[in-house]
Amino acid sequence: MTDLIPPHFPQASHLFRIRAHVEGDSRFLALLAGGSILHGGFDDWSDLDLVLVVRDDAYDMVMATRREFAAGCGDLLSAFTGEHVGEPRLLICLFGPDVIHVDLKFVTGDALDAMVERPVVIWSRDPQINERVTNADVSWPDMPPDWFEERIWTWLHYGATKLARGELFEAIALLDMIREKVLAPMIHTAEGRPQRGLRRLEQHVSPLTQKLAATLAAHDREDVRRALLASMELYTQLRPDDLIHSPAEAAVRAFLKTHCP
């Protein structure tokens, strides 16, 4: 594992303990890793993104006792499931004493046939796991341009209504969501990378990321209005020229001009 995480990183000892715990439990077939270990940039602040492959006949039992299993991997400070990110198979953990974030995703072998990234096999009880990972259908879930166009104007209208009502915190939260779900992924696309959210975007300094900073807003009515307009203009710069525009665009622009002067 030292070629995955250098031993001076605090996560290395946690990964070693988790691997030993998985190996000692016959319900598990393999331990895989993704995230920063695959994409580069692993540092002292990185999470451990781990996939635990479970025998089919043991899966229900493992899912029912995930917290107990995690507690056996080290000094478990906190653990909760990942429904809020649309992944109920996920157990999100904090381990002490140095406070390391570890994501444990519990899957059966059939989940290895189609994945969004090709994980590295840290340990396997079954040699077919390596072959299955190698031959998996890997496809990153980039959204097409019309996905953004269908949503952005409704979301911008929502922000404008909250601004008009004086709900600045809600309007600011909406701007945060637009940056994460629309503008950051489209910036990645424009610059030739797979779509992602805001994480590590500062590492890609460009005119587009500088324009993204203009979509941040203070708790001030005029500043929120300015940020809404900046979000709108950055989006229209990022969308393809040949994209069919939503009829909502003109209506939302007029709404903002009329109700949020």
Q: What is the CA radius of gyration of the chain?
A: 22
Q: What is the pLDDT of residues 72-97, one digit of tens each?
A: 999 999 999 999 989 999 999 999 99
Q: How many CB atoms lie within 10 A of CB 211?
A: 17
| Tokens found for residue 203 | 């590492």
CA–CA dist 54, 127 (Å, integer): 14
Q: CA–CA separation, 45 vs 5, rounded Å?
A: 12
Whole-number average pLDDT of the chain: 94
Query: β-strand 120-124 against 137-138: which pairing, if any?
Result: unpaired
Residue 177, token pair as written in the block: 């969501």
The pLDDT value given to residue 70: 98
Are 191 and 203 contacting, i.e. CB atoms less than 8 angstroms apart?
no
Tell me what pLDDT residue 3 has. 66
Predicted confidence at residue 41, as pLDDT, reads 73
- Quick check: pTM over 0.85? yes
> What's the count of helices (H) and strands (E) in the chain, helices before strands?
11, 8
List, in sequence order, every residue forming a beta bridge with 138; answer none if it has no partner: 115
Is 1's pLDDT higher than 50? no
For 245, residues 6+ apart whose C-beta sits below 8 A from its C-beta are 149
Crossing angle, helix 248-259 and helix 145-165, to 10 degrees?
Answer: 20
Quickly tell me which residue has 């990153």 as its tokens. 140
Dump pLDDT digits (tens) for 197-221: 998 898 888 999 999 999 999 999 9
From-to residues of CATH 3.30.460.10 in the chain: 10-138
Fold of 10-138: Beta Polymerase; domain 2 (3.30.460)
Three-state DSSP at 24 gives coil
Instruction: Please write the tens of the pLDDT for every residue from 11-57.
Output: 888 999 999 999 999 999 999 999 888 876 788 888 999 999 999 99
Delimit the CATH 1.20.120.330 region(s) of the chain: 145-259
Instruction: Look up the CATH architecture of domain 145-259.
Output: Up-down Bundle (1.20)
The pLDDT assigned to 35 comes to 85
Q: What is the pLDDT of residues 212-255, one digit of tens each?
A: 999 999 999 999 999 999 999 999 999 999 999 999 999 999 99
C-alpha triplet 110, 114, 117: angle, nearest 5°: 125
Per-residue pLDDT of 98-139, as tens digits, reads: 899 999 999 999 999 999 999 999 999 988 999 999 999 999
pLDDT digits (tens, 9 = 90+) for 139-172: 999 999 999 999 999 999 999 999 999 999 999 9
Tell me the three state secondary structure of residue 113. Answer: coil
Q: How far is CA 255 from the centre of its chain?
A: 33
According to DSSP, residue 136 is labeled: -
Phi, psi (degrees; rounded to nearest 5) at 120: -95, 140
Separation of alpha carbons 37 and 47, rounded Å: 9
